[in-house]
Structure 1
Amino acid sequence: MPRAQILLLGAVFVISFSFLLQPVKTQITDPTEVSALRAIRSNLVDPMNNLKTWNNKDPCASNWTGVLCFNKTLADGYLHVQELQLLKMNLSGSLSPEIGQLSYMEILDFMWNQINGSIPKEIGSIKTLKLLLLNGNQLSGPLPEELGNLSNLDRIQIDQNQISGPIPKSFSLLTKARHFHMNNNSLSGHIPSELSTLPNLLHLLLDNNNLSGQLPPELASMPKLLILQLDNNNFSGALIPDSYGSITQLLKLSLRNCSLQGGIPDMSSISQLGYLDLSQNQLTGHIPPSKLSVNITTIDLSSNLLSGPIPANFSGLPDLQTLSLQNNNLSGSVPDDMWSNIDFTGNRSLILDFQKNNLSSISASINPPNNVSILLYGNPVCSNARQPGIERYCQYQSIIQLPGSTTSSKISCSPCSTDLDYEYNPLSPIPCLCAIPLKVGYRLKSPGFFDFRPYKNDFQVYLTSGLQLALYQVVLDSFMWTDGPRLRMNLKLFPNNTNLFNDSEVVRIRGMFTGWVIPDSEIFGPYELLNFTLGYYSEAIPNISKSGLSTGAILGIVLASVALAVTLSSALTVLIMRRRAKSQALSKRKSVSRIPVKIDGVKNFTFQEMALATDNFCNSSQVGQGGYGKVYKGILVDGTVVAIKRAQEGSLQGSREFFTEIELLSRLHHRNLVSLLGYCDEENEQMLVYEFMPNGTLRDHLSAKSGKFSGALRFSMRLQMALGAAKGILYLHTEADPPIFHRDIKATNILLDSKFVAKVADFGLSRLAPVPDIEGILPAHVSTVVKGTPGYLDPEYFLTQKLTDKSDVYSLGVVFLELLTGSQPIFHGRNIVREATIAYQSGMIFSIIDSKMGSYPSECVEKFISLALRCCLDEADSRPSMLDVVRELENILRMSPESDFKPLEIEAAESKNPPSSSSSSVNSHPFLSSYISGSDLVSSVIPPIAPR
């Protein structure tokens, strides 16, 4: 028998025997719920086709994605939907009112999608609902009063949406509710005092809304309230009720930036209080001298109108991590014993921020440990020059960074197999055991501490105990602080000294997270699940339990299947041949339309990984946009912060730039060039993944668009940035193999990392430098169509279409002028090169220097602008080479006071092994002293230049 027929018959019998898996009497889903699910699907937009299984016949019997059913029929003879789990599936559209027809549902989970529209009032009819999880979407409109009918509801999470209107008074009927997470919306009106009747509420998170009115004193009567978090609302003129000082079980009280007035209540009755934040209000009077809880880690009373001395009750607190009293009217002496009862082992530290008060003295014998930081800038005590050693406490520190961490471990083992996602568990008692972990994105929504490091071990014990895993199975891969403050973590869960989890264990662990079964913790507070990446285990999650079949049913189906096999044989032969021909034609078309990219050292990311990293490309993740497309900030599963450049759909120019940039950047490695980490080329999407530059572009800073650092670039910093960019371009011209002409040097393509190191980016227009011809002669230029950005274009290249290394020199000279003047290349119809040339020739060069730069060394500025103008000469041969530019910038930097000069030779050696500059946090702005005034002109160092 021919091999093709053997395979065909085998396929027929496989199909025939598949009937054996069907019961004689099929269990089906309640038709009303089937209809409801189809209506839900019709209202959703599913660009990643995650819900493709929703086209199958029966939701429960056919395992629709995200639809989990009871594993047996109920009294009415039907299967029913128990959970709708659609976490982070890139869904948009709206929620259908037919959701209310899922009458037996217990968990409704649409977290971290892009659902818009309002919350259907029909959800209020699902009496069995326990978890309502809608956070991280784009929902708007008011909260339906009908949600108050959810008598079994344990948790409502609607945070991080755009929901408006008042909090319904009907929510006071949710007597089983323990968690109200409604922060980061646009809720308005008063907080209903009726909520005080809720007997089981633990967490009331209403921060970042538009709430107003008075703080209800009745909330103090809530018997189990542990966290009250109301930051960033507008309770204008309201007082903190004295009753809040008697919420005896309270763990955290956070009322930051709420426009509160009056005094601070006596907190001595809150015996378990661990976190107190009343900052950025208009509180007055003295700080109560009452004794505080020994559990307290964080006290922030900064930016108020408090007066009087620093009370003694802040001393002797064993767990205290930060005490911030800055920007008040406190007076008297600085305490000298606040750290006396603290054990500083295990990364413990203490920050005492007393800046900008009226403190007048400090003990001469004060000698805090190295783990204690005392900040006194802006107090009269700092003007007392007679007291030695005071200077170290008087340096201004604008931002106290919350430390993050990435776990790194050195394991001397041979590499794991790369055919699957194997990796080593650094905590495993079995050395060099390769295993496939589950990856979990996890965030503490209201942690009870300022610094997580001393609590890492406690957290591991807490989480492994809650998950019923061994300590070495949970690896905290990285953690970082986000706005709130909230603590985001990336976890890896490893099998118990085996290579793989079994399916039932994957199901159990996932259910612990998605069902919020892990017990709450007093110190770590409530958590939220950001993602649960199954990867290899994606087939391990069944939607319902399968039913078995009787022997009689099997025999009957066998006879029917054999008869059916004969009938299907000939039909299948024709069908297979037709499909094969069609598939080959389709495959051929696809191979023409796509260009394969296989480059060593550059990771090929999936579209799902990119969507996960950017919260489904939500608007809040977008950090830029250009002709190529949009740029997003993303966080990979391993915690790496990246920039993702996503091409516009159908952009031919984007396609060319895409492959050009991958090809070039994969071969370039220099500390002043942005590193390419990977790419994505699937789902009709093209994306480039770079190291993230947390301080944005040079243009952002020069045009005062960079937030807290805007306008703060002193001359020394600008000079360092100019040198960094020049070194990056010099590497392209002389060290890259083959050399490269960038062709689009401009201020928006020079990015700044966390330490303000300048890095050249965007190689989509770059061209390879000419190579020697067959006779060994090296052409001086590349003939190409003119491309670039107006204002930066080399005039000789523009006229002749001959691209040379001096074209990049011209563009960089324009950037230098931007650094000096703060102006854009073309502004109000004027050209920066022409304006600077005229000012230079007329002796008025300092009249165009950027006023935001402050004082500067005039001789250094004179030399810098001279170099910039020589770079911008019309004739390419008259411009300096990039090597000459770097050398001259180094000479200027040597002359500049308080600059960290590093010669080119050392820099070149370092560039061979560049350090990783990918960072997940932004460092504080370096403190720079003012330079001498630069009002005097220095004699010209270049010949006069004719105006353009």
Structure 2
Amino acid sequence: MTKLNFAFSIMLLVILFHYLLQRTVAQVTDPMEVRALKTIKSSLNDPVGNLNSWNSGDPCTSNWNGVFCYPTPNNGHLHVQKLHLLKLNLSGNLAPEIGLLSQLQILDVMRNMINGTIPREIGSITSLKLLLLNGNAISGSLPDEIGYLPNLNRLQIDENQISGPIPKSFANLSSVEHLHMNNNSLSGQIPPELSGLPRLLHLLVDNNNLSGRLPSEFSKMPNLKILQLDNNNFSGRTIPASYGNMSTLLKLSLRNCSLQGFLPDFSGVPQLGYLDLSWNYLTGPIPSRKLSAIITTIKLSNNRLRGSIPSNLSGLPFLQLLSLSNNRLSGSVPSSIWQDNISTGNKRLIFDFQNNLLTNITGSSTFPANVTVLFYGNPVCSNHVQANLVNCEPQTVNPASGSIRSSQITCPSCRTELYYEHNPLSPIPCLCAVPLGVGYRLKSPGISDFRPYIDDFRADLTFLLGLHFYQLYFDLYSWEAGPRLRMYLKLFPDNTSLFNTSEVLRIKQMLAGWEITLSDVFGPYELLNFTLGPYSSMVPSIKRSSLSTGALIGIVVGSVVGGAIISSVISVFVMRKCSRHIIGSRKRTTSRNTIKMNDVKCFTVEEMERATDNFSCSSLIGHGGYGMVYGGVLVDGMIVAIKRLQVGSFQGSKEFSTEIELLSRLHHRNLVSLVGYCDEEDEQMLVYEFMSNGNLRDHLSSNCKDPLSFPLRLRIALETARGILYLHSEADPPIFHRDIKASNILLDSKFTAKVADFGLSRLAPLPDIEGVSADHVSTVVKGTPGYLDPEYFLTYRLTDKSDVYSLGVVFLELLTGMQPITFGKNLVREVSMAYQSGRTFTIIDERMGSYPSDCIEKFVSLAYSCCQAQPDARPSMSAVVRELEKIWAMMPDTDILHPESAITELGNTTAPLFSRAAAPYSYLSSASGSDVLRSVVPNVSPR
């Protein structure tokens, strides 16, 4: 009887389990939210197919990419909780139906190419906590409705094209801590009502067109730590004296805001660590009361300050940079300013006093090894006694960038194991492991030199992520405009070869969901990318497991036997899945296309290793989203640049094939030559001729010490146009380049211009049976913001006139030295306004020396016509070349056609020795427009 009861009990439990499982499977996403997601997809362009999973099944139970749901049903349905669509190459518009995701907490579409306006309907999602729209091409004004989101903690709309005022309704955001609205075209006055935001920590609205007064009411904000308003136009306004009483403020940055009046006294701001008031019209003396003892950066350069340098600037133990250049300061400089900081251990301490009226140094004129003091342009440099003791050479102060590489022991190669590499910091020597790649940016750091804070940052981030110190490895870091600090990190498993799947999802969720808070000195951060590599196939299984497990727990609680059965089933399932994933991750999945090659050599991996000293760090000259670039010397002594594709990069593999197929049959003196390629042993590399003078963009930079003359700029324009004309008319079939920009125009040892980077190029349409050719190619929009033909951007119709537009932007760069998009301003728009108002010569780059005015006028007129919005209004490339040749013929006699007389040729070398301290260099494909983090021209000399 007992056996019968036991059997009957087991039968009941099985029936109950079956019933409960059926109930669980039956749970589906709210039908209204399903329709909303499908409408959202239909309004987006998805050229790579990242949203293909949205074509079938249920959003919450079928692993729709980027869709995360609540783990248990609510009101009988599952609901979308998070929408993570970071950097998926999406364009198009955000559909108003997004407002139907009524229980959404995170909306993340960062780093795509989405345009259109922000839907007002987002204001109806009262549960929304994170609204992350930055890094797109969104335009229009900010909807008032966003100001009524009661739970919104973070609003990021930076790096878009949003215009109009900041809505006063934003004063209702009682939960907001982060307002990041920088790098747009916002105008009008900053609403004083924002001072009532009780939890606001960071207000970043730099690089806009804001005007009016600075709200003095901001001094009342109870928690404000960062106020960053650089590059706006508060013309004639003063800095409110009340800002000197902001008790919680850590960073105040008001650079280039057209501010006037006296410099306020900030001695009453106890936590102030970073002060930048440079490039204004501030007058009067520097206040004599002592600043916060934790301050790292003081920038007061390019103002009209008078008086002496007060001694209160000494005794600041954390100081890294004091910049007082280009003022009217006079008298003596007390040496105590730098002598008192000798014991701080700073790796770099800079005092910039250039271009003042300083006459001498009081006290010791001895400078410690870690201190740089700049006196160029001061009377002290003509004092024969002290001139020999001080630095009187003009210098530009730039933050230090680089990589943090620990000494590595010699280890056997991990190449046979796909994606595997050594962790130099691992306690287990030579352990091969698969890291996670993280692109990371500090948006408003409170420091000028990162090096003394590297260990603090590593300890901070690893602690917050629940990792060990040795699991985080710095690949590269670089300062960007802002200043902002960009870095590439690698997270390694803890003394094993692989992360388990739950750990991958946990780390990604913490970074993408802003679930960590760094120390205040590092300011706010943003996630640029999270590279899963072989783990990408494991994430969907995590998502499916976590959702179904959560739902089952909510339903079968109390059924111990059912829970045991579920646990067993899931355990077997996960073990089998993980086994398949780990085995699969060791196999290369990228298929190779058959590549047509003409006159290019196929190299072996061994030859590439020999050319680069086994890809040593000293040979590394560039880094981008699709891999590394190394300088090398072939066995015949030829100096080359080698682009090594990141293993498993689908997009990079496509560009690899495209570049070989095109460059192998293109031969022109103004196109970069492809020497060869390597395609074996899970390696794909492209070998180019070496261009010793780097790229054009960096010769136009304000940091370039030897600016290009006008004749040389004109010649570079002509040679570039000839190279593109060859692509359009002489290549068979013709080619549209699609990514013409200053960084893709390289310069050889004689400054001959050559067009590079054909990874995005497209073949022009072929004639039909009657010999008639279409005038365009229909394709998804790719290229670099600022250079994109607006017609192509709107219609997806790529034509030869699209290249003409991009080249016109390059011409404007040559004429002005400015970048296409900077400080929230568009170069084409700025030049058009000057051209139409007859102020052409006010925008010309003064650094290029003298020039014939008639030649400049014709060059500006040509550039202006190339940048017309309507393609029919632009000249053809052949007309561009003819006009440049006419302008060149108007030039007075010059030897610029033979500049090699003034340039030292590279010597014949037998082995490379590369340095990273020279000008930038670019061989990297850059579909996103910002893949190259930092690449430099190597200096080549015999070993």
- Say whether the fold is shared (TM-score over 0.5): yes
- Using the TM superposition, give the Cα deviation of residue 143 of structure 1 relative to its aligned residue in structure 2, in angstroms: 0.5
Match of residue 232 from structure 2: 233
Paired with 1:665 and 1:204, the residues of 2 have a C-alpha distance of 50
Post-superposition Cα deviations, 1:164-216, rounded to whole Å, max 9, x if no partner, equal 11111111111111000110011111111111111100000000011100000
**2: CA distance between counterparts of 1:439 and 1:600?**
28
Amino acid corresponding to residue 515 of structure 2 in structure 1: V
Aligned to 2:533: 535
- Alignment of 1:53 onto 2:57: no
Task: State the distance in 2 between where 1:694 and 1:22 align.
Answer: 68
Would the aligned equivalents of 1:750 and 1:759 in 2 still touch at CA under 8 Å?
Answer: no
Shift of 1:540: 2.9
Number of the residue aligned with 1:517: 515
Give the Å deviation of 1:370. Answer: 1.7
Deviation at 1:519, TM superposition (A): 1.5
1-side partners of 2:432 and 2:174: how far apart?
48
Cα drift, residue 27 of structure 1: 1.2
SS of residue in 2 equivalent to 1:313: helix
Q: Distance in 2 between matches of 1:467 and 1:509?
A: 7
Match of 1:600 among 604, 609, 629: 604
Q: Within the alignment, does 1:664 sit opposite 2:662 as a pair?
A: no
- C-alpha contact 2:626 2:646 (8 A) present in aligned 1: no
Question: How far apart are the structure 2 equivalents of 1:635 and 1:191?
Answer: 48
Question: Residues 663-742 of structure 1: matches in 2 within 5 Å?
Answer: 664-666=675-677, 695-697=694-696, 709=704, 712=707
Partner of 1:744: none
**Alpha-carbon deviation of 1:305?**
0.7
* Counterparts of 1:819 and 1:189, CA distance in 2: 38
Aligned to 1:805: none
The correspondence for 1:751, drawn from 746, 751, 755, is: 746
Q: What amino acid sits opposite 1:376 in the alignment?
A: F
How big is the shift at 1:35? 0.5
Aligned pairs for 1:336-415 within 5 A: 336-343=335-342, 348-363=347-362, 365-387=364-386, 389-390=388-389, 392-407=390-405, 409-415=407-413
Distance 1:347 1:187 in 2: 39
Question: CA–CA distance in 2 between the matches of 1:597 and 1:828?
Answer: 36
* Matched letter for residue 153 of structure 2: D
Take 1:476 and 1:280, find their aligned partners in 2: how far apart are those partners?
34
Contact 1:643 1:690 in 2 (8 A): no
Aligned-partner Cα distance in 2 for 1:65–1:332: 65
Unpaired runs of 5+ in structure 2?
1-18, 564-589, 610-622, 628-642, 717-741, 759-847, 860-880, 922-932
* Superposed displacement of residue 821, structure 1: 11
Check whether the contact 1:242–1:266 (CA below 8 A) recurs between aligned residues: yes
Superposed displacement of residue 343, structure 1: 4.8
Change (3 A) 1:750 1:235: closer
Q: Deviations over 1:432-489 (max 9, x none)?
A: 1111010000000000010000000111111011111110011111110011000001
Aligned residue in 1 for 2:37? 37
Distance 1:120 1:635 in 2: 42
2:461 is the alignment partner of 1:463:
yes
Note the C-alpha offset of 1:534: 0.6
> 1:597 Cα shift?
11
Residue type of the alignment partner of 1:465: F
Q: Which moved more, 1:412-421 or 1:31-40?
A: 412-421
Aligned to 1:422: 420
Identity across the alignment (%): 51
What's the CA shift for 1:290? 1.1
Q: Is the partner of 1:35 in helix, strand or coil?
A: helix
- Where does residue 794 of structure 1 map in the other structure? none
Cα drift, residue 265 of structure 1: 1.2
User: Are residues 1:547 and 2:558 paired?
Assistant: no
Compared CA separation, residues 30 and 273, structure 1 to 2 (3 A): same
Number of the residue aligned with 2:489 = 491
Q: Deviations over 1:317-339 (max 9, x none)?
A: 00111100001110110121112
Cross-structure match for 2:27? 27
Residue 368 of structure 1, CA deviation: 1.3
1:764-787 deviation digits (Å, cap 9, x = unpaired): 99xxxxxxxxxxxxxxxxxxxxxx
Name the CA distance, whole Å, in 2 between partners of 1:106 and 1:214: 35
1:222 aligns with 2:233: no
Kindly indicate whether residue 319 of structure 2 is the aligned counterpart of residue 324 of structure 1: no
Matches within 5 A, 1:92-107: 92-107=91-106
Separation in 1, partners of 2:322, 2:197: 33
In structure 1, what is the Cα distance between the partners aligned to 2:262 and 2:393? 30
Q: By how many angstroms is 1:590 displaced?
A: 8.2
Give, in angstroms, the shift of residue 407 of structure 1.
2.6
Q: Once the two structures are superposed, what CA deviation does each residue of 1:750-774 show, in whole Å capped at 9, x if it has no partner?
A: 8359xx8969866999xxxxxxxxx
What is the letter of the counterpart of residue 114 of structure 1?
Answer: M
Does the CA-based 8 Å contact 2:593-2:657 persist in structure 1? no
Shift of 1:397: 1.1
CA RMSD of aligned residues (A): 4.8
CA distance in 2, matches of 1:690, 1:80: 55
Letter in 1 for 2:281: Q
Q: Which deviates further from its counterpart, 359-368 or 102-111?
A: 359-368
The CA distance in 2 between the partners of 1:452 and 1:101, in whole Å, is 44
Kindly tell me: are residues 467 and 215 of structure 1, through their superposed partners in 2, closer, same or farther at Cα, counting changes over 3 Å? same
> Against the structure 1 CA distance between its residues 248 and 821, is the aligned structure 2 distance closer, same or farther, given a 3 Å change threshold?
closer
Deviates more, 1:339-348 or 1:915-924: 915-924
Q: Could you tell me how far apart the structure 2 residues matched to 1:397 and 1:171 are?
A: 44
**Contact 2:744/2:756 (<8 A) preserved:** no
Evaluate the alpha carbon distance shift between residue 694 and residue 130 of structure 1 in structure 2; reply closer, same or farther with a 3 A threshold: farther
Q: Classify the secondary structure of the residue corresponding to 1:172.
A: helix
Residue 511 of structure 1: how far off its partner (Å): 0.8
Q: For the Cα contact (< 8 Å) 1:328–1:356, is it kept in 2? A: yes
C-alpha displacement of 1:394: 1.0
Matched position secondary structure for 1:318 = coil
Amino acid at match of 2:80: V
Residue number in structure 1 paired with 2:475:
477
Moved more, 402-411 or 286-295: 402-411
The equivalent of 1:65 in structure 2 is 65
Answer yes or no: is 1:848 the counterpart of 2:893: yes
Distance 1:461 1:319 in 2: 19
Structure 1's unaligned 5+ residue stretches are 1-18, 555-586, 604-611, 617-633, 668-676, 681-687, 722-746, 766-817, 837-846, 854-863, 869-888, 894-898, 927-948
Counterpart residue number, 1:296: 295
In structure 2, which of residues 424, 432, 437 is the aligned counterpart of residue 434 of structure 1? Answer: 432
Provide the rounded CA distance (Å) in 2 between the counterparts of 1:762 and 1:235.
41
The residue aligned with 1:445 is 443
